[in-house]
A and B are shown apart, each in its own frame.
Chain A
């Protein structure tokens, strides 16, 4: 029988140190098919696809492309076989133009000929219904444009097998629709498309078949038309889970925090935050939605005193804290917790142990010049116990812990300081479902205790189910604040792209 499958991966195993990321995984993808690779964070989806794109090399197992056994030792080998991967974190060179990025690494004449290239790009764009300005620099592009560029880049290389790693994570609902149209277009042209995701509704909408991975193993491959969401979840997580999030019904309390006309100018002289004003109350979770880079980071950091603002005021308990450093804010007796987006790059010191991370914000209260470890050690022990942090001991560097446990150290430290306001930026990013729900529970618990919470999120479904109100940021401006109980995804998507209701 002739092997018609575009990709066949058999018994693929790959380990990193003692962690087995892929354990004898099998996967078959046909031409003219959109195949979803479904699994939790850490299930091994990206690892598997990175082996197909030549980034990783499998420890054992075989790969066949259109029936031919292949062995990739570099991305170049993979490109030659018609495989193109669009990575979750775009692999583009910022200071170069779209055209430069497209032609990168391609063989051809000695000199670069831009005119020819622009023509070829236009042809590809027409055929697949894409749109790009070849002379635009990547750093001037929006997230959606960058993704389009990545797609054109792989098509230019003649890819017939496309792998997309979490392509919808950073897009608005409208952009997702457009992406899906492009994907169906490719499928009709006979391409094989693999989409990595953990969003079930998207899987149901776009894919023909689904392969589910769990903890590095392939669980099953099913036809999408036969699949049902609850069984998919069960296969993903390994047990029955109720994925319904609970919105804690609380009475909204007094106003805790109020921003008034806050404007932040970034290093490119653009307004990262433009006249932002809103208030946060006790016992509420205020969600913040927006396309990545719409000012979320600046919003958090301005409130936390890490970012200088051009103008505006931030009231916390009657005092204007704008322009105050984190140190001064702490000295004012303001209890504010902040879970930054980059946990190991900002919230914690990766190379230090739990104790030294726990004392990070309070060591300055110690008297004298000597750093005392004991009070921190007691507190660390308490936090480890209370939040059920899995660690060999308190002297383990936090970088050695799993993502979920790292997040719990950070969240534990911030919650343990008994904050009145808690700012959390993408607190479940990279965590598996179990750990994510544990975090949601912790946030709800804080809300019950009267804490006002700002929750920067990316998954609109989660925002709608968990939050009381949702604030939408577009290019640093607030394009709307909606009641989460009544709003729809489409409304928020509309606001994210700059529309107003």
Chain B
């Protein structure tokens, strides 16, 4: 038993719909619900139809020193599982045994107080994450150095930039020395060099024989760090084992999900007053196509519908393309191209026109995002699949090198050698005719 860090045995979590935020946030609603409950009881109907299992019979074991990835769609139960393992919420049934100190980084900077200085927040945050004051004092300089905010350590964090804030928060968390570290998408924060620093820190943690559980949508990270992974689907373990196989399974599952009607999608975030209803891929002649072609003019058309009778100002409509491992490749956004704010009302569509599609052949995914006045309205990850047929981008008669399918973008460049040889890699203009 001594090499086991976590054993989960049939963990299940049941949420009663309406028991939380939706129905009875006020006493009156609660009383009304009770009354309705009484009448329902008398007609013999049970309340169980308004509950759902966020997790159902999750069993697995994590060995000490293992780095386990947890993947799955939004709403598959990943966060619920992490919350149970970090004791934030309780399972409805089932048990989990945890051997060792657990630290969870479900959201960095939790408990930071904007009025307090960086120095004060280090101590506050560390105490919340379960670190002793002695320990913090010993590592204080190291934490500050890691965060790179030395000059502002005695400034209230409300005057920090968001980047500084996040770096300081992660620095505290990274210096915890738990036997088990639980991480949820922290890598989504900070600039590239800081992300690199974080990745390095996590590798270091795992190399030092500690157990790490990571939830991420980025398959490159999961494949890079984990030997084993779990795929969750609708609250159940769909696949468990070798990371590569699980990631394949996840890609299949994304294809299935992305095939469903966008209007019926539940896994969306935002206020929902403006909804994405459909995405169409068109060719240069504005004919809908099943697949785009490398190097050709391609139009991505996003249909939206606004709440009745309302007008939305300062809108931003954007779509990004993810590669086969979930990595972000590029983003198309109305506000980058045209700083004039967009006003949306009723129904309509926005076309993004890409003159020469710089993608190799393969299966990609779209991620859509609509906002107004700085508030997210509708955000859907893996909203639709996007297939691209490979074609000769550079007009040289060659296709993309193996391994690069749906895994990167094609750019314009030229090369030269010291012996005077050279070649331009410009997309062939001839193809457009």
Do the two chains belong together in a single complex?
Answer: no
